[in-house]
Structure 1
Amino acid sequence: MIKTEPHRRYWLMELIVYWEGRLTANHLQQFFGLSRQQASKDINQYLQDNTGQLYYCASRKGHLPAPAFKPAFISGDVAEYLNWMTGQRAHAMPSDPGYRLEHAILTPPPRNVSPWVIRPLVHALRQHHRLEVDYGAVSKPDRDGRIIVPIRFVNTGRRWHLRAWCEKAQGYRDLVLSRFHGEPMPEGPQQAPLPPDAAWNTTITLILKPDPRLNPEQQQALTYDYGMTGGELHLPTRAALAQYLLNEMQVSVKMLDGNPAAQQLILANHDEVKPWLF
């Protein structure tokens, strides 16, 4: 459905208030280039059209989601908010249906991520504060408490992570957003400057080649498919993201698939990349 301009603004209002917990006229001013008067007028119009959704909190100088708030213009999937916040997708909506082409998009099921998790993470990230979190990894499903300093959100292709300094591990970790439990608790400003994030600051190149077990015609097909040069595909990436990129390319580095047609690609510079892999 083509969204009208008021609906685009309603979408942004709900996106901000749901995931950040507070909406002000400044949000609309910055995103849509409105005057403060027009931004306030739009918020008041939303309140009239969607009664009971928001309420004004004088102490926080903004509108907050009401206890019975139910999104009407957003999906409630955290990826929608993070894609907007990090600028990874365009948000201008087409006005002429004649420009649309038939297409289909495979949409995986949304991860279970609560706004009560995201709100303190976003605040701590912006303020460089520490948080106590309850996190359950697959390797330790019993969960454990830890204190972290959020650094950035990272989209690995399949899901969103929070890259953070973990005081318990004394290192940087990628924490899957859907594995946080409860509400992160503020622990105040970070106590000392964090050490450099070597894996994030280091750029490496993954060199991929067709699986040599394939026949020449199959290898040539892959060379053409990926636009390889000299039979190789060179993919620069941050070292911290190397494993995720290999996963997205379906390149196994632990064992070859018994079927070379299923394996398709191999990592040619495994020894060079290995120190950075999980």
Structure 2
Amino acid sequence: MVTNNLRQRKLFIELVAWWEGAVTNKQLTEQFDISRQQAYQDFKSYNEQLPGNLIQTSHGFKPRKEFIAHYISSDINQYLQWFSTKQLHQYSPITSEVSHLSLPIRRVSVEVIRVLVKAIRQGKRMETNYISLSNPESDGRIFHPHTLVNTGLRWHVRGYCEKSQQYRDLVLSRFRGVAEIIDGPYQDDTLDLAWQTYIPLILQPDPRLSPEKKAVLAHDYQMEGGQLILNTRAALASYLLRELQVNIKMLDGTPEAQQLVLVNQDDIKKWLLNH
């Protein structure tokens, strides 16, 4: 019988082995604050239960080509949530009293993710192929990744792009082909002005709403003096406004649909994408 604690540790073994290409005894001991002997027993238990899934090497336990996930889902969000918070999320059935939206899973290359994570942790450049809506043909890029970002609907990686000679956001599902670590000077986030700069987003109810409706929104968002002030990295401001459904180009036809407006748009305009 597998206890919940052991199940969590086996989930961790699979999660890191699959998405990073290997998992070590040290990673297991640090994640769960257990002894090296306990970690050894956990790996032994996993391999006895699922023989042939992992192979032990000098760099840790690596997934075989025939690897079959037993404890983890195929959704990269499970790994990225752990990567950003170090908290494990085990998906479980939703009860009849609780439900949630099932967003489409974006296809992400595990081979690219392994190189990307390694590049971030080691402060290295990576060479890869990437496509975008403006350039749907795959093209090579040398990228200096520094941070993985969850915008709500998708994950992207922020870093310095040598092709555009500026810091950019690359969507994880748009990497193509293989990726590899390359030598050379690495440009980290200290020179990323939009990342290092924090700006306030001052929001208030749409002025076309009645006082009663404004009061509803003020209560919803715990506004003070009729305004909500959110401090955010300048690089993330546009994503935050999009999640709040704040249209900065024009007012929606009905104030009930618009709900919130950005008060200080002129002051922060240079930081907003596609303004």
So what's the TM-score if we normalise by structure 1?
A: 0.90
Q: Distance in 1 between matches of 2:270 and 2:105?
A: 32
Q: Distance in 2 between matches of 1:244 and 1:191?
A: 26
How far apart are 1:228 and its partner, in Å? 1.0
Alignment pair present for 1:196 and 2:191: yes
Residue in structure 1 matched with residue 81 of structure 2 by the alignment: 83
Paired residues in the alignment total: 268
Q: Counterparts of 1:139-218 in structure 2 under 5 Å?
A: 139-190=134-185, 196-218=191-213
Alignment pair present for 1:120 and 2:115: yes
Q: Distance in 2 between matches of 1:190 and 1:82?
A: 27
Alignment pair present for 1:134 and 2:132: no
In terms of mean alpha carbon deviation, does 189-198 or 23-32 score higher?
Answer: 189-198
Decide which of 235, 239, 247 is 1:240's aligned counterpart. 235
The residue type equivalent to 2:49 in the other structure is: D
Q: Distance in 2 between matches of 1:23 and 1:195?
A: 30
How far apart are 1:51 and its partner, in Å? 1.6
How far apart are 1:191 and its partner, in Å? 5.6
Alignment pair present for 1:260 and 2:258: no
The residue type equivalent to 1:209 in the other structure is: Q
Alignment pair present for 1:26 and 2:26: yes
SS in 2 for 1:141: coil
Q: Distance in 1 between matches of 2:242 and 2:116?
A: 27
Residue in structure 1 matched with residue 222 of structure 2 by the alignment: 227
Q: Distance in 2 between matches of 1:192 and 1:157?
A: 27
Gaps of 5+ in 2: none
Encode CA deviations 1:75-99: one digit per residue, 9 max, x unaligned. Answer: 12111111111117x4388xxxxxx
Alignment pair present for 1:70 and 2:65: no
Gaps of 5+ in 1: 94-99
SS in 2 for 1:165: strand
How far apart are 1:149 and its partner, in Å? 0.8
| Cα distance change on mapping 1:192 and 1:228 into 2, 3 Å | closer
How far apart are 1:183 and its partner, in Å? 1.8
What is the CA RMSD across the aligned residues, in angstroms?
2.1
SS in 2 for 1:208: strand
The residue type equivalent to 1:233 in the other structure is: L
The answer on whether the counterparts of 1:172 and 1:197 sit within 8 Å (CA) in structure 2 is yes
In terms of mean alpha carbon deviation, does 105-114 or 74-83 score higher?
Answer: 105-114
The residue type equivalent to 1:77 in the other structure is: D
Residue in structure 2 matched with residue 96 of structure 1 by the alignment: none
The residue type equivalent to 1:265 in the other structure is: L
The answer on whether the counterparts of 1:128 and 1:190 sit within 8 Å (CA) in structure 2 is no
So what's the TM-score if we normalise by structure 2?
A: 0.91
| Cα distance change on mapping 1:189 and 1:45 into 2, 3 Å | farther
Q: Distance in 2 between matches of 1:186 and 1:92?
A: 29
Q: Distance in 2 between matches of 1:118 and 1:214?
A: 46
Q: Distance in 1 between matches of 2:24 and 2:140?
A: 34
How far apart are 1:109 and its partner, in Å? 2.0
The answer on whether the counterparts of 1:164 and 1:172 sit within 8 Å (CA) in structure 2 is yes
Alignment pair present for 1:39 and 2:39: yes
How far apart are 1:194 and its partner, in Å? 7.3
Q: Distance in 1 between matches of 2:143 and 2:119?
A: 10
